[in-house]
A and B are shown apart, each in its own frame.
Chain A
Amino acid sequence: MTELAQNLIDALALGSLYALIALGVTLVYSVMDMMNFAHGEFIMLSAYALYVLAGVPFGVALGGALATGVLIAVAAELVAFRPVRKADMSAQLVTSLAVATILQNVVMAAVDARPKSVATPSVVSETTQVGALSISNLEFITLGMTAIVLGGFGWLLYRTRAGLAMRAAAENFDMARLLGVRADPVIALSFAISGALAAVVGVLLVMQTGQVSPTMGLTPVLIGFVAVTIGGFGRMLGAVIGGLLLGAASSLLGSYLPADLLPFRDAIVFSLPVAILVFKPQGLLGAATGEARV
């Protein structure tokens, strides 16, 4: 019984992490119709901020990671994505692939191709007893951060002026512009928030593995893409659900797969979405209404 509960909590924690990744990807998609492959590098660079700021009080380092994520996202939009704003989704995806390659290799050249270890506060790797369960503090932090982020995200979207502009733009950008909503700031803001989400994920990943590497963003961004696709393009809730499902599946497989199949966990997890898509091509919740342009 306790083992089941333990596994479920693990599943929830991993699912939360994946949901955060998916949310970052879907935010940009819903406003700009673009799947941003460079999101993985936003995660990676924020993590490297922790590496670079080693020795500095951890709180400051966290701030640095956050700032890095936001700045790199906004800069990427300004320099690389704005010129291809009118192109179709595939072209934008390939452009983001180019940006990702460049960023990844710049880090490789500037730092090292090999992973580097990063010290995190020891409390992170300890566990806490809750009744009969032994839950790692990292999982607490992950679940807590996710709750805070989702809450903050929801507050931003539904209680602020900026959030209203983003939701309107996500539904019907042309109509929003006709009412005076400015296109550039809305897009910049979505990238900024997406970058902040990436930073949170980057920090959590560092806490989990204790190291950074230039290729650490590849798997997360693919997870994000797949989660968004199975949840339904453009739907924030769909992305969260997709992320939770993928994370839960991955974690539960990790707990229950026989040992000789364990190394193939990723293969199984990434095959699941295809099965879903064959039966529900628009994803579980269906694509967002994608309101006709004015």
Chain B
Amino acid sequence: MSAVRLRSRSSLAVSALAPLVLIALTMAIGASGTPSLRGTVITILCEMIVVLGLQVFVGNSGVYSFGQLGFASAGAYAAALLTLPAAFVALQTPGLPDLIEDAQLGALGSTAVVAVACGVLAAIVGLPLMRTSTLAIPISTFAFLIVAYNVIANWDRVTGGSGGLVSIPRTTGIVSAGLWAAGAVAVALAYKWSTGGYRLQATREDEVAARSLGIGVTGERLVAFALSGMLCGVGGALAVHQSGVLAPTTFYFVASVTTLTMMVAGGARSVFGAVLGTIAVASVNEALRGVEGGADVLGLFSIGNTPGLAAIGVGLILLATMVALPDGLTGGREAGELPWLGRLLGRTPVGDLAAPRFVAPMGTQKQAAATRAPAERAGALNARGIAVSFGGLRVLRGVDLTLRPGEALGLIGPNGAGKTTLVNVLSGFLAPDAGTVELDGVDVGGRSPARLARDGLTRTFQGALPFPQLSCLESVAVGAMGVGARRGKAVAVAAEVLARLGLSERSSHPAGSLPPAEQRLLGVARTLATNPRYLLLDEPAAGLNEAEGEELVAILRGVLEGFGCGILLIEHEMSVVMSLCPQVQVLDDGVTLRVGAPAEIQADPAVIEAYLGSSYMEVANA
């Protein structure tokens, strides 16, 4: 049996090679042109490295950072100071410690040192920044940019102040710039396709769901932030070794907007997009800059002296992209995933789906016996006396619940009965005012959702779309990665789960392109990849028709037997609950009304009354 892969070999090759090919082409154009063109190409390649740094953080986390140019600036200054001859350093920046003043590294050495230093700096700066809320990160990184600028511009004795530095050795050539750019591409792709990268992308797609799968959001963001700082520092170092001069304003606001535009125009989620966007926007930028001093356009009309024309052009590109093409030229996809490229290579495009089918898995039980031992039957999820109040409203007033592995328990009740609140308490999203939750005998009160996922308790969310931009296989593999599996194992687990649920055919399709019934199933698959002992499903049958509901029941039965986990099913679709669950617990107004078999529940006057209103049966029998 061939090993399952996250993407086909050809797709992988295309995705990895395409950006490198573009870089090579750019280098070739530069090498064969005038010195001025050469210089421009080198600049573009340096910018590309910074943009790749941006992409690593912003593209994978979905959170904008406006401070990355601060690291480029720091890297540039460090590189300059490390390569300036001692005499120059003493002249321009008398305040430096002798160690640095006397150091004179070569181009390669200084860039390597800068890479490490900026990575570390970014990790330190990122530590507090990543702990702020998702909304606050863009603004606090802006603040960081200002702080960096302010420090650099005023620390005269170390940085030369607002006058900057001059006479920096100009050592960056097309080859070195191109090689570093290729290296940056390799780093960006390697990270994006690593377990850490996938976990971060999961937080981009759905932060809450990611937490519930065991992913630590702050930690993943910090890793990307540090990596991003490293790449930006390298870009800055190479740039300064091309221009030979440096000022605090070199890597400040204008550069931030330009690099941001390059990333967005290419497609923030894509490494190929970062490369493509850099080249596209830089070309426009250079063209406009050439015209800034005034020029004749094709002999048709002339433009007067307009400084800032290039920046206006860049701004317009950014505006147009945000309004009309928010996912950029690549739509956020890597080269190997682009539909038109696929057609070119003769493959059927992934985006076109055959008529959606809902396939019941075949031979689920046999497969289960062969490949996986059911979970231990001992132990239970035990909640006792759960009470929750919101303001003055008592939502749960002392509820008990017991769930055992291999068993299905239905949780039903009218609107406002407290079902979702109870699940929030069980899965660690809400702390109860009173009561205990025990997992296999251990008190798990206060544990985070991520921790509980690793302990074997996972949940799904109502109406949530499972990581729309990732492929189905990737979406499910993230579940396994969240609880610590390495990529190879995660992919294998994901493939198995998809097979069990009848979704194998959809492995490489983007999760967002699936019809709703299958998306729901994918959400279940994702939680199964975390190897749960206890699975809390929140309305998986919502919006399904009768036939689909029956399929869901069949599949969930297969899950019970094949995976051996316990399932708590919150549902309003009574047909689903009653056919799957041998036991049903009815909640009303914050307390448990009744626990029993479906037939008893359906005939129980108290239950009927809770749903339908008082004395329904009396009226019925009157």
Contacts and interface: CB of A to CB of B under 8 A. Distances in A.
A and B touch in the complex (CB under 8 A): yes
A267 B150 contact: yes
A30 to B, nearest CB: 14
A106 interface: yes
B576 to A, nearest CB: 28
B323 A109 contact: no
Interface stretch (B109-117, B126-134, B551-559): B126-134
Interface string A109-145: 1000100000000000000000000000000000000
A274 B128 contact: yes
B146 A91 contact: no
A282 B133 contact: yes
A222 B132 contact: no
B431 interface: no
B100 interface: no
Contact of A98 (B62, B142, B318): B318
B316 A102 contact: yes
Interface stretch (A80-88, A161-169, A173-181, A193-201): A80-88
B140 A274 contact: yes
A93 interface: yes
Contacts of A98: 257, 261, 315-316, 318-319, 322
A263 B135 CA distance: 30
A1 to B, nearest CB: 32
B307 interface: yes
Contacts of B597: none
B315 A93 contact: no
A90 B63 contact: yes
A271 interface: yes
Contact of A266 (B150, B264, B314): B150
B448 to A, nearest CB: 16
B308 to A, nearest CB: 4
Contact of B264 (A87, A94, A229, A281): A94
Given A105-B315, A113-B308, A222-B142, A94 B129 contact: no
Most chain-A Cβ atoms within 10 A of its Cβ — which of B62, B154, B314?
A: B154
A215 B315 CA distance: 15
A95 B307 CA distance: 22
B64 interface: yes
Interface in A71-109: 80, 83-84, 87, 89-91, 93-95, 97-102, 104-106, 108-109
Contacts of B154: 263-264, 267
A84 B323 contact: yes
B306 interface: yes
Contacts of A97: 257, 260, 318
Contact of B140 (A93, A101, A229): A229
Given A101-B311, A102-B316, A113-B307, A84 B139 contact: no
B328 to A, nearest CB: 12
Question: How big is chain A's contact interface, by range?
Answer: 35 or more
A274 B129 contact: yes
Most chain-A Cβ atoms within 10 A of its Cβ — which of B133, B136, B155, B307?
A: B136
Interface in A34-57: 35
Contact of A99 (B139, B147, B308, B315): B315
B311 A105 contact: yes
Given A87-B326, A98-B315, A102-B316, A274 B309 contact: no
Most chain-A Cβ atoms within 10 A of its Cβ — which of B135, B150, B312, B322?
A: B322
Contacts of A259: none
A147 to B, nearest CB: 28
Contacts of B155: 264
A146 B316 CA distance: 35
A229 B139 contact: yes
Given A35-B139, A101-B257, A277-B140, A264 B322 contact: no
Contact of A106 (B143, B261, B264, B308): B308
Most chain-B Cβ atoms within 10 A of its Cβ — which of A215, A219, A267?
A: A267
B308 A95 contact: no
Nearest to B261: A98
Given A109-B309, A225-B139, A277-B140, A93 B323 contact: no
A90 B253 CA distance: 18
A87 B322 CA distance: 9
Contact of A102 (B128, B129, B146, B315): B315
A226 B319 contact: no
A84 B147 contact: no
B314 A101 contact: yes
Most chain-A Cβ atoms within 10 A of its Cβ — which of B63, B323, B326?
A: B323
A90 B154 CA distance: 31
Contacts of A277: 132-133, 136, 140
A293 B133 CA distance: 22
Contacts of B62: 90
B446 interface: no
A134 B340 CA distance: 73
B319 A99 contact: yes
A270 B318 CA distance: 27
B151 interface: yes
A94 B140 contact: no
A210 interface: no
B133 to A, nearest CB: 4
A5 interface: no
Contacts of A225: 139, 142
Contacts of B153: 263
B84 to A, nearest CB: 23
Contacts of A218: 253
B138 interface: yes
Contacts of A87: 322, 326
Nearest to B157: A260
A11 to B, nearest CB: 20
Contacts of A267: 146-147, 150-151, 154
B306 A109 contact: yes
Interface in A238-278: 263-264, 266-267, 270-271, 273-275, 277-278
A270 B319 contact: no
Most chain-A Cβ atoms within 10 A of its Cβ — which of B142, B264, B319, B326?
A: B319
A281 B132 contact: yes
A233 interface: yes
A95 B323 contact: yes
Interface in B232-273: 253, 257, 260-261, 264
Contact of B64 (A94, A100, A229, A271): A94
Most chain-A Cβ atoms within 10 A of its Cβ — which of B64, B140, B142, B143?
A: B143
Task: For the complex of A and B, list the 4 residue pairs with the smallest distance between their C-beta atoms, beginning with the closest.
Answer: A101-B315, A263-B154, A105-B308, A98-B318
11 contacts: A97-B257, A100-B315, A101-B311, A101-B318, A104-B311, A215-B253, A226-B139, A274-B143, A277-B136, A278-B131, A281-B133
Interface of B: 62-64, 128-129, 131-133, 135-136, 138-140, 142-144, 146-147, 150-151, 153-155, 253, 257, 260-261, 264, 306-309, 311-312, 314-316, 318-319, 322-323, 326
Given A98-B316, A102-B316, A274-B140, 4 more contacts: A90-B63, A105-B311, A267-B154, A271-B147
